[in-house]
């Protein structure tokens, strides 16, 4: 059986922070930042993290299938919100995947996603790899300028192979170009990383792969090498004999480099434009190197994700407030006022009882009359029915709807005031009072169309917990 990629998806947060705003705030201290001040970087909203972005990317991928259910789920990141709670299981429940699922977190390396993808493609089970990254950096640093937030998903199984897996090679070596033992990354000199790291480790790994596959470097049509060093991919390509025209743009000017998610994000972008027969070489660097070789098949153009990289790129909106970026990334200590000081403890027994609603966004549909409702209760909400215990599980996670009523409240505490909330009427039935996220002033009104998205509802900083729920966003 031919193994390979059968689907892909991506998510990039809507907000795109203009790098000129970072320069304006920090050039007084480091004038060299001006040389990096062109373009923009993606920026998570306050209620987004690696899990919520992973849900978006995975859902975008699954939208291209007709009922595909993966049997395994690998979730890769170096910025998981939980150190000891399986993040991939939260992801799986938000996607309403069956419990009979191999779920695995893969972490601690910039090549976590490619290692997971290698493991999936070398196995026999269908599955999906999701990679997501939300890295924090010190204010005014080169990393803050060049990094970005994003997620991507790659599926194997459930449909025709879009890109055949030709072969893979891994090299494990503890070359410490950077590390994070505390709150922020610490890295070494850029030139040394390039000369002793990329230019030695990547060619060694790729050469072994191409030799084993009987492929010439000059025949590579797309060469993906994620890095925030602009000159490194051309230098590596030249050393290996790869055509410079094959180098895939790292999207540094439009998104920034999204850490462990960057390899899959660029792979998804490449799959959108690849032609049948194209050879795609993906190399990921970090304590060694992973190299994967794919050949696009005749089915390459047949898969259509929900939005894909192109669609989520086009959905961006300009953000010019550096102060908002600092606040959303918890890089400044804010005065949240007395209304924000209430205890946010989560009673885990109560959460467990309503996990189907809170995480999977499941309501009910009456077997007697067909009425849909959320939340699901003992009795049917239809006054002409009122049947007891007649409701089957019914997902609202993929439903759209309209705003019936809404409020913008500056008294209620919100990390990005005002707090928007109101009543939503879902297509096909069901109403729910919901929070709205990423509302721009003047963009919401009664009758506005909405989609729903898995987001952070509240933080509990005292215990290091965060509560997730679904929010409405104006389409």
Structural domain ending residue among the three candidates 281, 304, 328: 328
For residues 239 and 151, membership in a common domain is answered with yes
Domain of 449 in residue numbering reads as 399-474
Q: Provide CB contacts within 8 A for 223, sequence distance 6+.
A: 233, 237, 242, 246, 247, 248, 281, 283
For residues 299 and 420, membership in a common domain is answered with no
The answer to the question of residue 340 being in a domain is no
For residues 423 and 300, membership in a common domain is answered with no
- 246 token code pair: 């094959």
The answer to the question of residue 382 being in a domain is no
What SS3 class is residue 473?
A: strand
Note the pLDDT tens digit of each residue in 260-306.
Answer: 999 999 999 999 999 999 999 999 999 999 999 999 999 999 999 99
**What pLDDT, on the 0 to 100 scale, is given for residue 110?**
98
The answer to the question of residue 263 being in a domain is yes
Alpha carbons 280 and 219: distance in angstroms, whole number: 10
Residues of the chain where predicted confidence (pLDDT) is lower than 50: none
Q: Tell me, what DSSP letter sits at residue 262?
A: H
Structural domain ending residue among the three candidates 285, 300, 328: 328
Q: What pTM, to 2 d.p., does this model score?
A: 0.97
The answer to the question of residue 278 being in a domain is yes
For residues 321 and 422, membership in a common domain is answered with no
For residues 214 and 77, membership in a common domain is answered with yes
For residues 53 and 144, membership in a common domain is answered with yes
Element (H, E) at 457: strand 449-460
For residues 150 and 276, membership in a common domain is answered with yes
For residues 102 and 199, membership in a common domain is answered with yes
**Count of domains for the chain:** 2
Helix (H), strand (E), coil (C) string for 361-381:
CEEEEECCCCCEECCCCCECC
**What pLDDT, on the 0 to 100 scale, is given for residue 343?**
84
Q: What burial class does residue 392 get, using C-beta atoms within 10 Å of its C-beta: 0-12 exposed, 13-18 middle, 19+ buried? A: exposed
The answer to the question of residue 383 being in a domain is no
Q: b or e along 266-280 (b: 16 or more beta carbons within 10 Å of the residue's beta carbon)?
A: bbbbbbbebeeebbb
Alpha carbons 300 and 31: distance in angstroms, whole number: 46
For residues 268 and 403, membership in a common domain is answered with no
**Residue 290: half-sphere exposure toward Cβ, Cα within 13 Å:** 19
> CATH no. for residue 405?
2.40.50
Alpha carbons 404 and 436: distance in angstroms, whole number: 13
The answer to the question of residue 346 being in a domain is no
For residues 296 and 405, membership in a common domain is answered with no
**What pLDDT, on the 0 to 100 scale, is given for residue 337?**
81
> CATH no. for residue 305?
3.40.47.10
For residues 151 and 299, membership in a common domain is answered with yes
- 305 token code pair: 């994700």
Element (H, E) at 182: none
**Percent of all residues in the chain with a pLDDT value above 70, rounded to a whole number:** 100
Structural domain ending residue among the three candidates 328, 351, 370: 328
The answer to the question of residue 368 being in a domain is no
The answer to the question of residue 20 being in a domain is yes
Q: Is the Cβ–Cβ distance between 169 and 291 less than 8 Å?
A: yes
- The DSSP string of 50-103 is HHHHHHHHHHHHHTTSSS---SEEEEE-S--S-SSS-HHHHHHHHTT--SS-EE
- 96 token code pair: 């309403």
For residues 319 and 413, membership in a common domain is answered with no
Number of other residues whose CB lies within 10 A of the CB of residue 394? 19
């Amino acid at each position: 059986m031919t193994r390979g990629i059968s689907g892909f998806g991506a998510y990039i947060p809507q907000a795109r922070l203009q790098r000129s705003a970072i320069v304006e705030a920090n050039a007084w201290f480091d004038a060299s930042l001006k040389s990096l001040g062109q373009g923009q970087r993606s920026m998570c909203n306050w209620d987004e993290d690696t899990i919520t972005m992973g849900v978006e990317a995975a859902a975008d991928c699954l939208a291209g299938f007709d009922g595909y259910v993966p049997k395994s789920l690998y979730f890769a990141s170096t910025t998981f919100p939980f150190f000891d709670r399986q993040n991939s299981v939260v992801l799986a429940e938000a996607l309403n995947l069956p419990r009979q699922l191999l779920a695995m977190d893969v972490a601690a390396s910039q090549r976590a996603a490619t290692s997971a993808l290698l493991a999936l493609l070398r196995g026999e089970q269908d599955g999906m790899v999701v990679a997501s990254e939300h890295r924090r950096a010190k204010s005014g640093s080169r990393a803050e300028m060049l990094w970005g937030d994003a997620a991507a998903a790659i599926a194997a199984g459930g449909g025709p192979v879009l890109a055949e897996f030709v072969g893979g090679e891994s090299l494990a070596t503890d070359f410490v170009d950077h590390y994070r033992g505390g709150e922020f990354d610490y890295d070494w000199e850029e030139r040394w990383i390039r000369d002793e790291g990329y230019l030695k480790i990547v060619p060694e790994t790729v050469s072994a792969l191409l030799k084993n596959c009987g492929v010439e470097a000059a025949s590579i049509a797309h060469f993906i090498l994620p890095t925030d060093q602009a000159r490194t991919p051309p230098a590596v390509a030249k050393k290996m004999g790869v055509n410079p025209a094959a180098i895939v743009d790292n999207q540094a000017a439009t998104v920034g480099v999204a850490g462990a998610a960057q390899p899959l994000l660029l792979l998804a972008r490449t799959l959108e434009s690849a032609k049948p027969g194209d050879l795609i070489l993906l190399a990921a660097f970090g304590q060694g190197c992973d190299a994967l070789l794919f050949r696009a098949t005749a089915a390459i153009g047949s898969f259509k994700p929900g939005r894909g990289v192109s669609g989520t790129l086009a959905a961006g909106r300009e953000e010019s407030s550096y102060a908002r970026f600092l606040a959303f990334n918890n890089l400044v200590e804010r005065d949240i006022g007395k209304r924000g000081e209430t205890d946010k403890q989560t009673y885990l027994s109560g959460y467990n009882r309503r996990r189907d609603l809170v995480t999977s966004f499941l309501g009910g549909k009456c077997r007697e009359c067909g009425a849909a409702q959320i939340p699901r209760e003992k009795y049917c909400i239809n006054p002409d029915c009122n049947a007891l215990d007649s409701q089957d599980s019914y997902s609202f996670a993929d439903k759209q709807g309209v705003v019936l009523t809404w409020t913008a409240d500056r008294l209620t505490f919100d990390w990005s005031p005002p707090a928007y909330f109101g009543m939503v009427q879902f297509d096909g039935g069901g109403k729910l009072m919901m929070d709205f996220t990423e509302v721009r002033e003047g963009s919401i009104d009664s009758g506005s169309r909405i989609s729903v998205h898995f987001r952070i509802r509240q933080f509990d900083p005292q215990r290091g917990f965060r509560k997730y729920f679904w929010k409405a966003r104006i389409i």
